A and B are shown apart, each in its own frame.
Chain A
Amino acid sequence: MPPETAEPGAGNMPVPVWLMVLFFVLLYGGMVFFDRYGGWFDAEVYMPYASLADVQACQPHGGGPSAERGRAVYENICGLCHNSDGKGRPGQAPPFVGSEWVTGSPNLMIRIPLSGLSGPVRVDGTEWNLSMPAMGAALPDDDLAGVLTYIRQSWGNKASAVTPEQVKAVRAELGARSQPWTAEQLKALP
């Protein structure tokens, strides 16, 4: 290399505008792409599923409640307040773990999601006074039976399963009841 030439200098003009525009266009496109294909950082969403809801919709089901379907429904509906580990959230929802309302007769358990529960209630020694809407009223019998079974048989709870027939029977009995239950009313039931 001829040593008599100076070391190269560099011009100082700005980066062309079209290059910057291209960069931002690609960045936007990248964000749109990640939104559709990225599964939003969920560890259980693999391509080609777009989201966790997509994965849950594709779980084998039908022909009766299954544990997986029950779990899927739980995560989507009940777990939002009662937490994925069934321990509840203070000020939001009482726990299912070790709860006598869960492991007792299915009669009580089926009625609560169908019509809701409000007023003071004692769960595992702690007083709760919140208001639960009728989260299960829109669920089909299979799904409600499945999620109740899941709650009754998870996290150390050991109780009998709830069948769709039982749910159907209670639903027919309740008719169009829209009033949430109170703890006393439930305890008065056989």
Chain B
Amino acid sequence: MNYGPLLFLAAFFALAGSWFGFVLTPQAQIGQLQPTNMLGAPTLYPQARPGLARQGLGVYRANGCADCHTQQLRQRGTLCDVVLSDTGTNIPAVITALLKVKPGLSGPAARQWLSVLPRPVLQGLTPAEADAAVRVLNGAGAKATVSIVPVGPDLARGWGKRRTVARDFLFDYPVALGSQRIGPDLANVGARQPDAGWHLRHLYAPRLEVKVSAMPPHRFLFEKRKIERSPSPDAMVLPRDLAPPPGYEIVPKPEAGALVAYLLSLRADAPLFEAPLTVIPAPGAAGATNAPAASGATSTNAAPTKAPAK
């Protein structure tokens, strides 16, 4: 019997299953993803990156930064904190409630706690436990909220506040997730290291900024040129062994500027439905942290300043 066509058909359907399940279905599900409201704020997330940052993504791609740096944060779990923000009018009842939810606490300690608010009174609970505690505290007239805290080794390392999700990369081409961490993760580097000068120095000579870095120097992103009438404001300030000969200066090329703009625009900490987290606004300054509620524009940065800090 001629098995040829039968073999072809069976293999076709077997492999078509893979194409159907991993190309077609995901495309139907997340292929038309749209920006969405951030939690607790009317602003849309994500915003498209400004033009210079988008060019920077091209430089990032061309020089293979994704070969050593990832932009994916993992999350191992979610814990709830109970934050007391107001005591209301019935202090004794609140103290009783506080002692009920936190048995190990003593009376004087509880009173002292109530003097400095807002304060997380319970940490590391499951959502159900946190809800019960909030109900008890609210019943005494106080104002308590549940704060959602994502946890995981990547997050504990300070690389981010929550895991990365599909919406974080909605407008990027190509999406540079990376597959290996030879250098630190960059998903939130714009929040962690907002200094453009640091990035430029790091690109020119990585071991200037990180002593044990294995990153190759990207000197081709800079050019050495003769100083005209006066030095350029963009000129790099380098130590003696790396500095150019007198009469010359090292200036970043447009590619370097674009790449740094892209790096500064990398932030993935907006609270979303699929990756909830409670953003704690810093006392006073609205834009000091990543709090997106104040102004949506802080989600992605505008063009960086190229002036060196020192």
Contact = CB atoms under 8 A, between A and B. Distances in A.
- Whether A and B are associated in the same complex: the answer reads yes
B39 interface: yes
B134 interface: yes
Contacts of B211: none
Contacts of A58: 78, 80, 127, 148, 276
A46 B78 contact: no
Nearest to A61: B146
Contact of A62 (B74, B128, B146): B146
Interface stretch (A47-55, A96-104, A113-121, A173-181): A47-55
Interface-centre pick from A48, A58, A140 (highest chain B CB count, 10 A): A58
B43 interface: no
B77 interface: yes
A43 interface: yes
Interface string B67-83: 00000001111101010
A46 B146 CA distance: 21
Contacts of A68: 39-40, 273
In terms of DSSP, what is the predominant structure of the interface of chain B? Answer: mixed
| Dominant SS among interface residues on chain A | loop
A116 B105 CA distance: 44
A38 to B, nearest CB: 12
Contact of A44 (B75, B273, B278): B273
Interface residues of B, number: 34
B191 interface: no
A12 interface: no
Interface string A53-96: 00101111111001110000000000000000000000000000
A159 interface: no
A140 B271 CA distance: 25
A60 B163 contact: no
A45 interface: yes
Contacts of B131: 62
B275 A46 contact: yes
B274 A46 contact: yes
Given A58-B78, A60-B276, A46 B165 contact: yes
Interface in B258-277: 271, 273-277
Contacts of B163: 46-47
Interface string B128-161: 1011001100100001111110000000000000
Contact of A60 (B75, B165, B278): B278
B276 A59 contact: yes
Contacts of B274: 44-46, 55
The bracket for how many chain A residues form the interface is 20 to 34
B9 interface: no
Given A58-B80, A60-B276, A47 B144 contact: no
Contact of A59 (B29, B77, B138, B273): B273
Given A48-B75, A48-B76, A66-B40, A60 B271 contact: yes
Contacts of A59: 39, 148, 273, 276
A41 B22 CA distance: 12
B16 interface: no
B24 interface: no
Contact of B134 (A45, A46, A62, A67): A62
Interface in A15-55: 41, 43-49, 55
Contacts of B75: 46-48
Contacts of A43: 29-30
Contacts of A55: 273-274, 276
A26 B131 CA distance: 39
B123 interface: no
B77 A62 contact: no
A90 to B, nearest CB: 27
A71 B146 CA distance: 17
Interface string B5-20: 0000000000000000
Nearest to B134: A62
A43 B165 CA distance: 11
Central interface residue in A41, A55, A61, A67, by most chain B CB within 10 Å: A61
Nearest to A60: B278
Q: Across chains A and B, which 6 residue pairs bring their CB atoms closest together, nearest first? A: A63-B145, A62-B146, A62-B145, A57-B127, A44-B274, A60-B278
Given A41-B29, A43-B30, A46-B75, 8 more contacts: A46-B165, A47-B163, A48-B77, A48-B78, A59-B148, A60-B278, A62-B131, A62-B134
6 contacts: A43-B29, A44-B273, A48-B77, A57-B127, A60-B145, A63-B145
Interface of A: 41, 43-49, 55, 57-63, 66-68, 140
